[in-house]
Amino acid sequence: MMKKLAFFGLISISLVLNLHATETNNTSEIIVYGNKIQEEQLIGPYQQPEWTTERRFPSTRIYLQEQPYEMGVEQWDRIRSFKDGTVEHRFSEEFEMGLPHHFQMDVYYTWKYVNQYAQPDEESIEFRYAFADWGKIILNPTLYVEYTFATHGEPDALEGKLLLGDITDHGYHYGVNLICEQGLWGSRFTELSISAALGRMIFDKKLSLGAETRYEHTTEVGLRDSAEEWFMLGPSIQWRITPKIHFDCAPLFGLNNASPNVECWVVMGCDM
């Protein structure tokens, strides 16, 4: 099972590295008429593209979303439709704040709605650290650490991610996340996952389309030989309703029997 995870990760990273190298080595002249594409302009103290400050992909994070002392809020709904007919909504309210020296802090409050029954689910705090200004290191690596305070007897969890992402000369945005989440007691579950995303701007600062994929490998203590594996793939869209408000949607479809029929991510965000 670990071989599958490693293979999937190597393929994802190889694809983005190859895409990066292809664009870097492309010596053809690109002529821009009229105003420069606004969402590709470098902004802020870290000189990052404007598009990275609006969450482009629901299931794949890239770099830092908020610049120092800037704030934002987001409302999430992750909808899972399972093969037994169960439909689960996982609602999250998120507050984001940029901090100096390449840091960002996010806090979440999450609750679930399953089969007409709602209950609080968890509270989380997250920190990100970008290793350098945008473009100084290939794929702009960013470290992500999140601690989750669970409810209803579920174990707290610690999650770590390596966020990778960049933009090509032809306007394609892409990212890969390498993820490990560990339950700290009880079942002591371990979830290893990889997400990857690719998108392209259609209308500058208005509309972007793309695709996202995700692989998850989950085990519990004492049951390490009976892992649950999910493979999912689907389209994604971002609509920039106003310069400060964005809407994202990514319906991912299960590609194997263990996966949900659909896992749909819906995000509404606002920068302050």
Does residue 129 lie within any of the structural domains? Answer: yes
Indicate whether 116 pLDDT > 90. no
Angle at 70 between CA 65 and CA 71, to 5 degrees: 80
Does residue 30 lie within any of the structural domains? Answer: no
Contact 48, 185 (CB under 8 A): no
The amino acid that residue 99 corresponds to is L
- Predicted confidence at residue 152, as pLDDT, reads 76
Closest CA to 91 of 102, 73, 106, 76: 76
- 23-64 pLDDT, tens digit per residue, is 444 433 333 434 578 999 999 999 999 999 999 999 999 999
How far is C-alpha 182 from the geometric centre of its chain's CA atoms? Answer: 18
Contacts of 54 (CB under 8 A, 6+ apart): 65, 238, 240, 246, 269, 271
Taking the C-alpha atoms of residue 165 and residue 167, their distance in angstroms, rounded to an integer, is 7
More confident residue, 220 or 208: 208
Tokens standing for 150?
């669970």
Does residue 36 lie within any of the structural domains? Answer: no
* pTM, full prediction: 0.85
Q: Whole domain around residue 195: which residue ranges?
A: 2-24+44-71+92-200+208-229
- 235-262 pLDDT, tens digit per residue, is 999 999 999 999 999 999 999 999 999 9
Does residue 248 lie within any of the structural domains? Answer: no
- 143-200 pLDDT, tens digit per residue, is 999 999 998 778 999 999 999 999 988 889 999 999 999 999 988 999 999 999 999 9
Does residue 58 lie within any of the structural domains? Answer: yes
What's the total number of domains in the chain? 1
Does residue 215 lie within any of the structural domains? Answer: yes
Percent of the chain scored above 90 by pLDDT?
Answer: 76
- Predicted confidence at residue 186, as pLDDT, reads 87
Taking the C-alpha atoms of residue 155 and residue 150, their distance in angstroms, rounded to an integer, is 6
Average pLDDT value for residue range 88-103: 97
Does residue 246 lie within any of the structural domains? Answer: no
Does residue 81 lie within any of the structural domains? Answer: no
- Predicted confidence at residue 153, as pLDDT, reads 77
CA distances from 243 to 46, 97, 138, 171 (A): 20, 18, 28, 19
Taking the C-alpha atoms of residue 199 and residue 207, their distance in angstroms, rounded to an integer, is 10
